[in-house]
Amino acid sequence: MSDLSDLDLSGLDGVDPLRREVFEARLERWLSDLREAVEELYDDPADVVRRLVALAATAYVERDDALHHLDLRRSLAPDWFQRPEMVGYAAYTDRFAEDLAGVAERVGYLEELGVRYLHLMPLLQTRPAPNDGGYAVQDYRRIRPDLGTMEDLRSLAATLRGRGISLCLDLVLNHVAREHEWAERARAGEERYRDYFLVFPDRDVPDAYEATLPEVFPDFAPGSFTFDTDLDAWVWTTFNAYQWDVNWANPDVLCEYADIVLHLANQGVEVLRLDAIAFIWKRLGTSCQNQPEVHALTQALRAVTRIACPAVVFKAEAIVGPQDLLAYLGEGRHHGKVSDLAYHNGLMVQIWSMLASQSALLGTQALSALPDPPASTAWVTYARCHDDIGWAISDEDAAAVGLSGAMHRRFLSDFYAGDFPGSWARGLVFQENAATGDRRISGSLASLAGLQVGDPHAVRRILLAHAIILGFGGVPLIWMGDELGLLNDPDWDAVPEHAEDNRWVHRPRMPWPVPPDTHRVQRGLRSLIGARATLPHLHASVPASVLPPRDPAVFLVARQHPLGTMLGAYNMAPEPRHVPLEVLRTVGLDAASVVDHLTDEAPEVRDEAVQLAPYAAVWLVARP
């Protein structure tokens, strides 16, 4: 048994002996992870650990009985978020249902769709507009007044929990609004809070950092530092002048955020999306992204959370290159100890690349090179999200299949902006960077897939993209409105604060009641989700193996489960393609007894190959 005598457990005084024993058992289990992480970061790790354990003890005692019961169930089933029935849905609260009470009234809609995980986009109190779509947080303990109150959030979380749906919220880690209490007190001259930020008296150090820092928003927020007259100094502002980066090298900041995590967990939040996590540690001479300390900080926060409220998991919002991505689920000494979920941005990018090029060669090259995540974690797979699409395609992967990376990225931007001859897509260029040639794309999934121009294959493309994310494994996430095929919002810039940010084009309001002309997409997606929920091969602990395509237009993914293999085959072309039976035999499937799980029928076999209709998807498994 670990020695807990040097820790502050006074918060447990008077607690029922059995409940205290549970806390101490968890503390013994996770204390080594906590100490290991903190020792990587700070000069006095023992003091920091003591402070963090005291916060965990207080939060544990304050936790509702219903949440303690959830902790127990999740401790006995730690794979709860990895199961095939776990399908997510992401939305802005006001755009989906006006406010939190409205969301509670629409839970039945989510249930019918098959949703088990609801991510509500930023709803904590923000600064007045502009506020980066809610990511300039002024108060982590209050809800935006137009959306409701913290009591409304607790009520919604309880309603969702009772219907088997887990609530996910954003936790912005890299920065706070200039109007946040910490920043206000720093500007008022309190030295303690000045140390919560990265403040410089002149441009010497900022200029040294700027030499290697990429710009996130080169159009409307160039540079990474802002002069503040109240501070009489330069403050680090990676994203916008009104978003002040916090100083995670200060242990007070870690303790503040640990307390915020525990507070939100005690409101019933079950998943925390760690926003902008890649940026939180700064190192001169680097891009100040993906630094090793990021993973130590995440491990520390996770360990504290496991001690106080183990029902809660972390999702890393790390939109980074493939070589850096796996670390957010844990590599080396952090293996399986950091975030439980991470966005598979590469899969999303390659889906759109394969659809535009009608070729799976580059996608296969890029995705097959990514190592498997730890078995206790999961990718979040998605075809669309609230953000723009950046063409994260490496020059090395492109060269391996005979392409120029720069030319292919340019092709994709042209294609999805609708500027390439024959393009069926209608997107908008976002944040064009003349120096780098980087041009990202905004646009709804349906408009990017051709529905806006009436392309006859558009619905097939929409369903194919979803079949890939649902069949790849992990936790598939559906962006609000994609289940209906909602098009670009023609009035996206009508709100003044949105006028300079065309990402609002793919954030339209949900039409209630649901228009009848959307039912084809909705029925198809419901069918895919229903099929996924009954296929054990799609448990996230089972790795996905991307196979070399025999037909260059067919994307192949095998999942080797103890019950047998599932072979996903996806035709990225507008004409029929095929999968040779040799591929089935290679992965252990017998063509004579194979069935397409999506239709529960034998696939069409002709000329020693499974035949695929244009933009078709099949999930081939052995017939039971």
pTM of the model: 0.96
Interatomic CA distance for residues 354 and 8, integer angstroms: 55
Q: What pLDDT, in 10s, does the model give residues 350-376?
A: 999 999 999 999 999 999 999 899 999
Mean pLDDT across the stretch 40-53? 98
Predicted confidence at residue 1, as pLDDT, reads 47
Predicted confidence at residue 492, as pLDDT, reads 97
Q: What is the CATH number of domain 10-76?
A: 1.10.1740
Report the 3 state secondary structure along 76-93. HCCCHHHCCCCCEEEECH
Residue 274 contacts residue 317 (beta carbons within 8 Å): yes
Mean pLDDT across the stretch 440-469? 98
Predicted confidence at residue 248, as pLDDT, reads 98
Residue 60 contacts residue 312 (beta carbons within 8 Å): no
In the chain, what percentage of residues exceed pLDDT 90?
92
User: Which residues belong to CATH 3.90.400.10 in the chain?
Assistant: 181-245
Mean pLDDT across the stretch 248-262? 98
Q: Is the pLDDT of residue 377 over 90?
A: yes
Per the annotation, the verdict on 275 as an active-site residue is yes
Predicted confidence at residue 178, as pLDDT, reads 98
Residue type at position 292: P
Q: How far from chain centre, in Å, is Cα 421?
A: 33
Q: What pLDDT, in 10s, does the model give residues 124-183?
A: 999 999 999 999 999 999 999 999 999 999 999 999 999 999 999 999 999 999 999 999
**Dihedral in degrees, nearest 10, Cα atoms 104, 108, 114, 118:** 0
Q: By mean pLDDT, which of 302-316, 431-445, 593-607 is the weakest?
A: 431-445
Catalytic residue selected from 275, 388, 438, 501: 275
Q: Is the pLDDT of residue 2 over 80?
A: no
Mean pLDDT across the stretch 85-104? 98
Predicted confidence at residue 407, as pLDDT, reads 96
Extended beta strands in 233-275, E state: 233-236, 243-245, 271-275
Q: How far from chain centre, in Å, is Cα 245?
A: 21
Interatomic CA distance for residues 150 and 264, integer angstroms: 10
Q: Burial letters for 228-266: b for 16+ Cβ neighbours within 10 Å, e otherwise?
A: beebebbbbbbbbebbbbbbbebbbbbbbbbbbbbbbbb
Per the annotation, the verdict on 517 as an active-site residue is no
Out of 2.60.40.2230, 2.60.40.1840, 2.60.40.1180, 1.10.3210.10, the CATH code matching 543-622 is 2.60.40.1180
Closest CA relative to residue 33, chosen from 318, 338, 266, 240: 338
Q: What pLDDT, in 10s, does the model give residues 14-34?
A: 999 999 999 999 999 999 999
Predicted confidence at residue 221, as pLDDT, reads 67
Interatomic CA distance for residues 513 and 327, integer angstroms: 43
Query: For residue 322, what pLDDT band results from cuts at 50, 70 and 90?
Result: confident
DSSP 508: P
The alpha helices in 6-99, defined as continuous H runs, are 17-39, 45-62, 65-76, 93-97
Residue type at position 390: G
Interatomic CA distance for residues 163 and 425, integer angstroms: 38
> Which is it for strands 609-612 and 577-580: parallel, antiparallel or unpaired?
antiparallel
The alpha helices in 211-250, defined as continuous H runs, are none
Q: Is the pLDDT of residue 326 over 80?
A: yes
**Sign of dihedral through CA atoms 105, 109, 110, 111?**
positive
Q: By mean pLDDT, which of 200-209, 425-434, 607-616 is the weakest?
A: 425-434
User: Which residues belong to CATH 1.10.1740 in the chain?
Assistant: 10-76
Q: What pLDDT, in 10s, does the model give residues 552-600?
A: 999 999 999 999 999 999 999 999 999 999 999 999 999 999 999 999 9
Query: For residue 220, what pLDDT band results from cuts at 50, 70 and 90?
Result: low
Mean pLDDT across the stretch 213-225? 82
Q: CATH classification of 80-172+251-537 is 3.40.50.2000, yes or no?
A: no
Closest CA relative to residue 261, chosen from 295, 311, 296, 186: 311
Q: Left, alpha or beta for 132 (phi > 0: left; psi -120 to 50: alpha)? A: left
Report the 3 state secondary structure along 531-588. HHHCCHHHCCCCCEEEECCCCCCEEEEEEEECCEEEEEEEECCCCCEEEEHHHHHHCC
DSSP-derived 3-state class of residue 108: helix
User: Which residues belong to CATH 3.20.20.80 in the chain?
Assistant: 80-172+251-537
Q: CATH classification of 181-245 is 3.90.400.10, yes or no?
A: yes
Interatomic CA distance for residues 370 and 344, integer angstroms: 10
Q: What pLDDT, in 10s, does the model give residues 289-305?
A: 999 999 999 999 999 99
Average of per-residue pLDDT values in the chain: 96
Closest CA relative to residue 289, chosen from 215, 384, 346: 215
Q: Is the pLDDT of residue 101 over 90?
A: yes
Q: Is the pLDDT of residue 3 over 90?
A: no
Count of beta carbons in the 10 Å neighbourhood of residue 151: 11
CA–CA–CA angle 198, 204, 210 (5° rounding): 70
Supply 216's token pair: 């996130």
Catalytic residue selected from 71, 132, 259, 317: 317
DSSP-derived 3-state class of residue 266: coil
Q: Is the pLDDT of residue 519 over 80?
A: yes
Interatomic CA distance for residues 588 and 128, integer angstroms: 59
